[in-house]
Amino acid sequence: MQTHVIVKLLTGSEKHGLLARSLNPESDHIELYRGDESAPESHRFDAISFIKILGKPNLADAFCEDEFFEDVTTVTGDRFHLRLKRSERLESGFYGYPTDLDSDFKSIFFTNSGLRQRHHDRPIGEMLTQSGLVQPADVDEALTEQKKLREKRVGEILIEKNHLPETVVEHAIGNARKHSNSRNRIRVGEILIEAGLVTRKQVDEALASQTSGRRKRIGAILVDRGLITEEQLLTALARKFELQVVDLKQTPPQPAAVRRLSREMIEKMQVLPLEIRGTRLVVATSNPTDPTIIENLRFVANCPIELVVASARQIAAQISEIFASQAGAVEELIDELDDIDVQVEEEVEADKVTETDSKVINLVNKILLDAHKRGVSDIHFEPGMGPLPLKVRYRKDGICTQVHQISTTYKAAIISRVKIIAKLDIAEHRRPQSGKIMIKHGRERIEYRVEITPTIGGQEDAVLRVLSAARIYPLDQIGFSAKNLERMRAAIQKPYGIILCVGPTGSGKTTTLHSALSEINQPDRKIWTAEDPVEISQEGLRQVQVFPKIGFTFDEALRSFLRADPDVIMIGEMRDPVTAKTAIGASLTGHLVFSTLHTNSAPETVVRLIEMGMDPFNFADAMLAIVAQRLTRRLCPECKEPYHPKRTEYDELVEAYGREQFQRDEMPAFSKGLTLMRAKGCEACEGQGYSGRIAIHELMANSPQIKQAIKHNSGVLKTQEIAIEQGMSTLRMDGIQKIFLGLTDLTQINRVAL
Ligand SMILES: [Zn+2]
């Protein structure tokens, strides 16, 4: 993927362009391709104010613990209100992320030399909500208003709206900061000594027993030894961390809160989700000193966590009460889907994924891949009302069927998980959202379009369209006849030359080219592709999305590839004579080039290229093969029925094929035993008699005779005649061969190959 950026130089001038390679903050410069130049421009960081990386903002992880807000002013006088990540520390500058969905950039890199001022600005709205001064809805409203007012701060708006004295807001902000800074990793023993509950000697003895036996928490040991009560322990810890102590007998957990975490997570960590407070999930723990708790919970629940303290005994009792009646259906489902290994492309750090939250992740991944493997077109996640389970339905060939039922505990987690990998806003539950998921399975990449729709009862449905076009089929599985497969394989094994795939839009040209590329996609070959859009991605290929709007055209990409040491080049389409000329030139100078054209047949392609101004001699030398293709409906394999055709029907097929060629190609003779297949209709094909599609091909391979025909510009009919003599099957002939193979029928072939 190319990165479109705007670079602001210290001089104040702006440069639009594409990064030659991804932005590396460790280096001291960037290289930029601009629309009008062939070589990249180099710009040193110390001459740059900022680099705006254009694209759709990703607000999915807004308000996570790691983030804070800042106002940034550059020496060029540009001002930004941004989200920054605490964990991102770089030598040469820093990244900021947009705070609203309307931004035209997804991130922005400020160089040290370009920075004038950073003004720390924590999510004030969040602090105020937390302090109970305002409701989350008020903050939302203020944020919306801020978008209009731009310059105004959330705090100011809230003061106006809620008529709170400024000092109250400032005090709340001050408290929230103090609160967040005091949560350091402090040892329980020290806290208890400090609180005057135990002596250092008692702690040391407890610690000694801890190392000798199985690891047990120091607090628990001191309680076991009768040195302190659990209440004393909790009170001391809560005071130290400024946390609330909760009596679970008085405050039972809300079911909605419990559903935010998996049963396994709750049981393993011995925590109890209590309520949802604003954007935060309030969780009780008896172990507030463990810094990993917040991190892990936040990851699974997908929202900020507020810890409160409760006794271990009370937490354990509540947990067993909640889950007493629940079956382990999820484990069974995961086992059922177990042979699947899949990787989701996402930006979640691996070290945050714990064993338990991987359960939800695993389950979602497996469902996505399972659907893809089963040729499903849509996956429906439908959470039931209240205690009802989440249903998963697949649509295949137009029919929806329920395939899984998942325990109600996982409802929220599964939908949130889908939102996370689709890079959607997990905090948004009221409005529909659309996104995209890419998963990687071996060398395959599968794409899903995601639609999240709020449904009654505060639920959200997720419907995923599986983009089967993103599948890479091996060359021998895209319907080539044995002869065409052999000729195609011979062509793609040549070290240089040009292979063209032609046909109308939607005839499967890109699929065919990618199948061909997958066969020669080896580590010893450098393969560049320029596509618009990149529909299929393949590991090992270097794929480029062209942007004709900003002058990054196929021709531009092609010229860039030629400087980038290619063996194989795929150009999505030869739209204009310049691109065609460059592509043919490249194929004559030692490169294997693949491309497409919108022509009807292989011989017509030759004529069209010559009309476009290509040198016939050059093209005659460059051409390896031209494949014209169409997609046609396939007889439903479930219900198609064999029949013996009438003599007249057989003769019609022979005439359509060409009587002479029919005999030469040793096509089946008419006999009593001759059977063809016809459409019938069943449940699987919705009574249509057809399901899925097959490709028909016309492959013209080069030969000395074809070369002569091209050089002499012999015209479509003459070239076709020679090609047929050389063994080419026209689209119609290939289609009729597939009728005799029982794959389709004459009605379908007549539609696409007249
Ligand atoms: Zn059928």
pLDDT digits (tens, 9 = 90+) for 305-328: 888 888 888 888 888 777 764 434
Going from the Cα of 635 to the center of ligand 1, the distance in angstroms, rounded, reads 8
Going from the Cα of 408 to the center of ligand 1, the distance in angstroms, rounded, reads 36
pLDDT at 678 exceeding the cut of 90: yes
The pLDDT tens digits for 178-211 are: 444 333 335 677 777 777 777 778 777 777 776 5
Looking at residues 77-97, what average pLDDT do you find?
80
Looking at residues 600-619, what average pLDDT do you find?
95
- 135: three-class secondary structure by DSSP: coil
Going from the Cα of 584 to the center of ligand 1, the distance in angstroms, rounded, reads 45
Going from the Cα of 477 to the center of ligand 1, the distance in angstroms, rounded, reads 21
Looking at residues 522-547, what average pLDDT do you find?
86
* Cα–Cα distance, 349 to 684 (Å, whole number): 43
Going from the Cα of 692 to the center of ligand 1, the distance in angstroms, rounded, reads 11
The pLDDT tens digits for 431-485 are: 889 888 888 777 777 888 899 998 887 889 999 988 754 568 899 999 999 999 9
Q: Which residue type, as a one-letter code, is found at position 82?
A: L
pLDDT for residue 534: 75
To the nearest whole number, what is the mean pLDDT of the chain? 80
Contact 277, 306 (CB under 8 A): yes
Same CATH topology for 329-470 and 475-752: the answer is no
pLDDT at 528 exceeding the cut of 80: yes
CA–CA–CA angle 365, 369, 370 (5° rounding): 110
Contact 517, 475 (CB under 8 A): no
> 């015209």: which residue's tokens?
715
CB-count exposure of residue 336 (10 Å: 0-12, 13-18, 19+): exposed
Going from the Cα of 465 to the center of ligand 1, the distance in angstroms, rounded, reads 23
Phi, psi of 89 (to 5 degrees): -120, 120
Phi, psi of 219 (to 5 degrees): -60, -45
Going from the Cα of 369 to the center of ligand 1, the distance in angstroms, rounded, reads 25
Q: For residue 37, give the nearest of 20, 57, 53, 12 by alpha carbon.
A: 20
CB-count exposure of residue 118 (10 Å: 0-12, 13-18, 19+): middle
Going from the Cα of 224 to the center of ligand 1, the distance in angstroms, rounded, reads 70
Going from the Cα of 633 to the center of ligand 1, the distance in angstroms, rounded, reads 12
Going from the Cα of 382 to the center of ligand 1, the distance in angstroms, rounded, reads 28
- Share above pLDDT 70 across residues of the chain, in percent, rounded to a whole number: 81
The strand pair at 527-531 and 542-545 is best described as parallel
User: Which range has highest mean pLDDT (60-64, 264-268, 424-428, 677-681)?
Assistant: 677-681
Going from the Cα of 690 to the center of ligand 1, the distance in angstroms, rounded, reads 6
* Cα–Cα distance, 389 to 403 (Å, whole number): 13
- 281: three-class secondary structure by DSSP: strand
- CB atoms within 5 A of ion ligand 1 belong to 636, 638-639, 682, 684-685
Going from the Cα of 689 to the center of ligand 1, the distance in angstroms, rounded, reads 5
Going from the Cα of 679 to the center of ligand 1, the distance in angstroms, rounded, reads 8
Edge-to-edge strand ranges of the sheet holding 280-285: 272-277, 280-285, 305-309
pLDDT for residue 425: 87
Going from the Cα of 682 to the center of ligand 1, the distance in angstroms, rounded, reads 4
475-752 homologous superfamily: P-loop containing nucleotide triphosphate hydrolases (3.40.50.300)
**332 Cβ contact partners less than 8 Å away, ≥ 6 residues apart:** none
pLDDT at 173 exceeding the cut of 50: no
Q: Between 643 and 220, where is the model more confident?
A: 643
Contact 80, 69 (CB under 8 A): no
- Share above pLDDT 90 across residues of the chain, in percent, rounded to a whole number: 34
* Cα–Cα distance, 395 to 416 (Å, whole number): 22
Count the residues in the chain.
754
DSSP class of residue 73 equals E
Going from the Cα of 641 to the center of ligand 1, the distance in angstroms, rounded, reads 10
pLDDT at 596 exceeding the cut of 70: yes
The pLDDT tens digits for 104-154 are: 888 999 887 777 666 554 444 454 455 444 555 655 665 555 555 444 444
Q: How far apart are the first and last CA of the chain?
A: 40
Going from the Cα of 351 to the center of ligand 1, the distance in angstroms, rounded, reads 48
Phi, psi of 628 (to 5 degrees): -95, 145
pLDDT for residue 571: 96
Going from the Cα of 733 to the center of ligand 1, the distance in angstroms, rounded, reads 26
Going from the Cα of 484 to the center of ligand 1, the distance in angstroms, rounded, reads 29
The strand pair at 115-121 and 67-74 is best described as antiparallel
**315 Cβ contact partners less than 8 Å away, ≥ 6 residues apart:** 248, 270, 271, 272, 284, 285, 286
Going from the Cα of 639 to the center of ligand 1, the distance in angstroms, rounded, reads 4
**184 Cβ contact partners less than 8 Å away, ≥ 6 residues apart:** none
Range of weakest confidence among 170-174, 242-246, 261-265, 748-752 = 170-174
- Token pair in block for residue 198: 């135990």
Going from the Cα of 399 to the center of ligand 1, the distance in angstroms, rounded, reads 13
Going from the Cα of 402 to the center of ligand 1, the distance in angstroms, rounded, reads 20
**160 Cβ contact partners less than 8 Å away, ≥ 6 residues apart:** none
Looking at residues 522-537, what average pLDDT do you find?
86
Fold classification of 329-470 (topology level): Beta-Lactamase (3.30.450)
Going from the Cα of 394 to the center of ligand 1, the distance in angstroms, rounded, reads 18
Q: What Cα–Cα distance (Å) separates residue 214 from each residue in 208, 211, 217, 289, 376?
A: 11, 7, 10, 19, 50
Q: Which helix (H) or strand (E) holds 516?
A: helix 509-520
Instruction: Give me the residue spans of the domains in the chain.
Output: 4-121, 124-181, 185-242, 329-470, 475-752
Q: What Cα–Cα distance (Å) separates residue 47 from each residue in 14, 28, 75, 110, 450?
A: 12, 10, 11, 11, 42
pLDDT for residue 468: 57
The pLDDT tens digits for 702-736 are: 999 999 999 999 999 999 999 999 999 999 999 99
